[in-house]
């Protein structure tokens, strides 16, 4: 149906208050990707059960598959049905135009990532286009997130080991972070401290000492992308240091896919898909609950 500008601004004000609470109370909010309605149900049920605030997020491909207006309506419907605190994040959007469309629809969180489409984008180009989104977002109050360079990996299940010597070349630095934040005016900085998109055969290792130095260098929010496959103690410490948002995707996709395969194998003669899905999104809900507890956001919702 669409939201009025006053409704959008009310939502973004609440979203900003949530980010402020996360800093004051030392918890992080989970940003969980959705591929479909079943995954959204899993997130909503986990948020209700644990009384936790959550972000539902969509990447460029997911946004195009589901439609920005449809995503807005579905999230609003489930938010009302379950009585939960839930917002929408546009994740790794590669163009200014797509960000503007999501802002117009009423997304509360916008991640502009010019290097997603062009890995060789210059810092100057990234800053210029990020600032354009920041300026446009002022009309609704949407929170804008960005980073100064390409963030590696992909939201999938990988078989190769992690080459940390290569990854360290793209780690954030306190000086570079402050310079980028000052130049763009973003609300949230996507830090690179060993986090990496995707699920790997070995656990990820986060440089928490570097994270602390980045936290000390800037006043805005900090996010961690590539949270899947990360030992939970890193999340607990990151929230204590001052990370406000942590993205999870591949762990959920893995749970969805593997559980779906089990359900299909156990029910070869069942063709009513609606009867097969509760067990599947139940498995995804378990993943979401695990992350919420590690992030320290259980019991932090304000309805």
Residue pLDDT, tens place only, 237-296: 999 999 999 999 999 999 999 999 999 999 999 999 999 999 999 999 999 999 999 999
Q: Measured between alpha carbons, how far is 163 from 217 in angstroms, rounded to an integer?
A: 27
Instruction: Determine the 3-state secondary structure of 93 from DSSP.
Output: strand
pLDDT score recorded for residue 93: 95
Query: In terms of C-beta density within 10 A (0-12 exposed, 13-18 middle, 19 or more buried), how is residue 122 classed?
Result: exposed
- pLDDT-derived band at 154 (thresholds 50, 70, 90) equals low
Report yes or no: 244 and 188 within 8 Å, Cβ to Cβ.
yes
> Within 10 A of 276 (CB to CB), how many other CB atoms are there?
16
- Is residue 26 predicted with pLDDT exceeding 90? yes
pLDDT score recorded for residue 49: 98
- Is residue 158 predicted with pLDDT exceeding 90? no
pLDDT score recorded for residue 166: 75
Integer distance in angstroms from the first to the last C-alpha of the chain? Answer: 22
Q: Measured between alpha carbons, how far is 72 from 106 in angstroms, rounded to an integer?
A: 7
Model pTM?
0.94
* CATH no. for 5-295: 3.20.20.70
Q: Which residues are catalytic?
A: 91
157: β partners = 199
């Amino acid at each position: 149906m669409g939201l009025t500008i006053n409704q959008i601004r009310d939502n973004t004000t609440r979203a900003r208050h949530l980010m402020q609470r996360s800093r004051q109370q030392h918890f992080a909010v989970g940003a969980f990707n959705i591929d479909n309605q079943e995954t959204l149900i899993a997130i909503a049920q986990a948020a209700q059960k644990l009384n936790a605030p959550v972000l539902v997020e969509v990447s460029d491909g997911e946004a195009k598959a589901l439609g920005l207006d449809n995503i807005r309506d579905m999230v609003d419907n489930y938010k009302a049905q379950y009585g939960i605190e839930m917002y929408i994040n546009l994740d790794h959007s590669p163009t200014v135009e797509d960000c503007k469309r999501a802002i117009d629809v009423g997304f509360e969180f916008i991640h502009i990532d010019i290097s997603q489409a062009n890995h060789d984008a210059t810092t100057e180009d990234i800053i210029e286009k990020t600032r354009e989104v920041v300026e446009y977002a002022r009309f609704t109050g949407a929170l804008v997130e960005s980073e100064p360079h390409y963030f590696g990996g992909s939201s999938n299940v990988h078989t190769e080991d992690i080459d940390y010597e290569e990854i360290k070349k793209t780690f954030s630095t306190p000086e570079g972070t402050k310079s980028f934040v000052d130049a763009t005016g973003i609300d949230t900085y996507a830090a690179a401290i060993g986090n990496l998109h995707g699920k790997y055969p070995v656990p990820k290792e986060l440089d928490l000492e570097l994270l602390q130095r980045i936290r000390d260098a800037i006043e805005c929010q900090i996010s961690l992308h590539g949270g899947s496959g990360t030992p939970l103690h890193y999340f607990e410490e990151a929230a204590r240091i001052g990370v406000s948002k942590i993205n999870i995707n591949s762990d959920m996709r893995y749970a969805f896919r593997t559980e779906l395969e089990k359900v299909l194998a156990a029910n070869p003669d069942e063709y009513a898909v609606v009867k097969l899905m509760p067990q599947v999104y139940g498995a995804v809900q378990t993943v979401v609950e695990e992350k919420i507890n590690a992030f320290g956001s259980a019991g932090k919702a304000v309805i």
